[in-house]
Every structure is written in structure tokens, then in C-alpha cells.
Structure 1
Amino acid sequence: MFNRFARSLGICVIGLGALAASDALALDAPSGPVILVVSGAIGTTNVGDEAHFDRAMLAALPQHDTLTHTPWHDDRIRFSGPLGRTLLQAVDARGSRMRVTALNGYASTIPVADFHEHDVILALAADGEPLSVRDQGPLFVIYPFDDEPDLSNKLILSRSVWQVERIVID
């Protein structure tokens, strides 16, 4: 009797785990203007073989704040947005590097490891205000420069892409 109950319970737990996993992999289609397209070696898509995000979709991901100085601002700024690794998880990224491209065509290659080893965010806001294109938005790759001073170097600064519109994982 106990074995049958344990087996039934195990099947229910496995079923719930599969249901939770399938929900975690679901990515709704954007309802507003697309501000980010992620493509390449990803397992979760919502438009063809790409993952398209509007501002609301990115804001719905768990948010993280980074209070830091940057070379492009006079004061310390509180940047807010999802952690890069959260975005990678949302699209089931399977590569080791990313090509991050800005609206003006500037691009930088960033190791996926950066997003896992540091609290790098895709900033949607600065000091509580949504980032506009005029303010280096709609997305800005922000490293935690004040928390990790070793990141304040030319290589990492070149990876701090603003006006991000596309990420290609490979």
C-alpha cells in the first residue's frame, strides 16, 4: 500500500515539475513596441527563431538595482533592470558569447560568463526614470563598477553597450 502511494506521489511530483518547467520556458509575444531581439543559440523563442521583448516583458522579469558611477555620468546613478543572466535564462541561451548591438550599429562581443560572474544588468531605468534613446536607452548594459572596481577598465567599458536593440548568442 505504501509503495503504491509513494509511486503515485512520485508521478504527481514529476508531472508538476514538468508543468512548471514548461511554464518557465513559455515566452509570450510582445504586445508593445519591440525594444530587444535575442537570437542565435537560444531554446526559447516567441517570433520565429527569435525572442522579441517589449518594455513590459523586460520589466516583468525580476528586477535588480545597481548604484554606480560610470564614465558617462557626473554622479552615481541607480540603474534598474533585469540581471543579464535572468534574460539568458528566459531565452534558454546555449552559447558562450553574445554579440550586443546598439541602435547606431555599435557592437561588442561579451562573454556569457560575464553575466553569470557579475551582477550585470540590462538597465531599463536610471534613478527611477525609464531610459529613452536620448538617455542611452531603451537598454543599457551596466556592470557593477562601484561594487567591483576591477571592472573599470577599457575592455569592460567597451562591453557597456547603450541603446541596445539586439543580442545574438553564439
Structure 2
Amino acid sequence: MTILYQSKRAVFGVFAAIVFAIGAGVAFADGLRQPKGRIVLTMSGKIGQANKEKDAVFDMAMLEALPQHSFTTRTPWYDRPVKFTGPLLSDLLAATKAQGVTINASAINDYTIRIPMADAEAHGIIVARLLDDQPMAVRDKGPLFVIYPFDSKAELRSSTYYERSIWQLKRMSIE
């Protein structure tokens, strides 16, 4: 009886995971939803999916609806390894049907950096919304932080990739 119960629980768990994955995808399959909360990210330029004129705008709930990924890494900005969680940059690019070679990423203070789109697939970049499982306030480099998994490859621990890790992200323009 116990084995049958555990087997039913396992099947239900797999079913629930499939339904969640399909539901998250459907939110973006027929176009981007309209944000209900404060807009935290605007994507523009060479995108094929918009929800506000020619731009794709996201509130935090829309970013949370994308598959979430986490990694722990050391950075120059924290004195210990920290955990970052959020959607993959590649998932955001796919959701907006971005077609280009460069991302011009801009922060709240108008700092802008160019990120090659190829980096998104090659390195598993996260648009982090959580730091150590907590939302990031503006004073803590939030609410969004483009972050590379620096500890995954020695080549990422260089000024080139540190400079591409932009915090307080507010806009990405695809060229």
C-alpha cells in the first residue's frame, strides 16, 4: 500500500511539474501579457514580440513566470559567494523573439554596456531578481542584475565579463 501511495505521489508530482511548465510557456506563446505591476524591464530594438507599442515591457510577475535558474558564484562586488536567481537571458530573448547580435543594456543611472547576444547561450547568463533568495532593492544592485556564472569558467573571471554584468538593469535594446 505504501509503495502504491508513493508511486501515485510521484506521478502527481511529475504531472504538476508538466502543467506548470506548460502554463508558464502559454503565458508567452500567444504574445506577451500586459504587465499588471510596475514595469521593471523594457526591451526594444530588433524584437518580434511586443506588448506596448514597439517595446516589450515586463513587471516582476512576468519575469517570475519564466523558468527560474540559480547559481552561486563569487563576484568582485560581494565578499563571499552569493546565490543569484532569475530567468536566463536567453529565455528573455526568446520570449521577445529578439533577432540581433548585440544587447545594449542600460541601468537606472544610465550606465550602458554592450553584451554580445552570443554570450546568452554560451554562458548561461541570468537576469537575477533574487540575491540569496531575497528580492534585490535598488540600493542592493536591484531590482535586476545581469550576472554571469563567474565560477563556471576561468575565462569569465575577467574585466570583460565583469563589465558586462550590469546591475540596476532597466532597459535592453537589441541591435
Is the TM-score greater than 0.5? yes
RMSD over aligned Cα atoms: 1.5
2-structure distance, mates of 1:21, 1:53: 16
1:130 aligns with 135
Shift of 1:67: 0.6
Q: Matches of residues 1-170 of structure 1 in structure 2 within 5 Å?
A: 24-170=29-175
CA separation of 1:23 and 1:61: change in aligned 2, threshold 3 A: closer
Matched-pair identity in %: 44
SS of 2:152's partner is coil
Runs of 5+ consecutive residues of structure 2 not aligned to the other structure: 1-24
SS of 2:150's partner is coil
CA separation of 1:99 and 1:23: change in aligned 2, threshold 3 A: closer
Deviation sequence 1:16-58 (CA, Å, 0-9, x none): xxxx999624100100000000000000000000000000000
SS of 2:48's partner is coil
Relative to the length of structure 2, the TM-score reads 0.83
1-structure distance, mates of 2:89, 2:70: 12
- Tell me if structure 1 keeps the 8 A contact 2:27–2:33: no
1-structure distance, mates of 2:77, 2:28: 39
- Tell me if structure 2 keeps the 8 A contact 1:100–1:167: yes
Deviation sequence 1:95-117 (CA, Å, 0-9, x none): 11000000001010000000011
SS of 1:26's partner is coil
Name which one, 1 or 2, has greater alpha-carbon Rg.
1
- Tell me if structure 1 keeps the 8 A contact 2:28–2:95: no
Which of structure 1's runs of 4+ aligned residues deviate more than 4 A? 20-23
Shift of 1:66: 1.3
- Tell me if structure 1 keeps the 8 A contact 2:127–2:145: yes
Runs of 5+ consecutive residues of structure 1 not aligned to the other structure: 1-19
- Tell me if structure 1 keeps the 8 A contact 2:87–2:128: yes
Relative to the length of structure 1, the TM-score reads 0.86
| Residue identity in the other structure for 1:61 | L
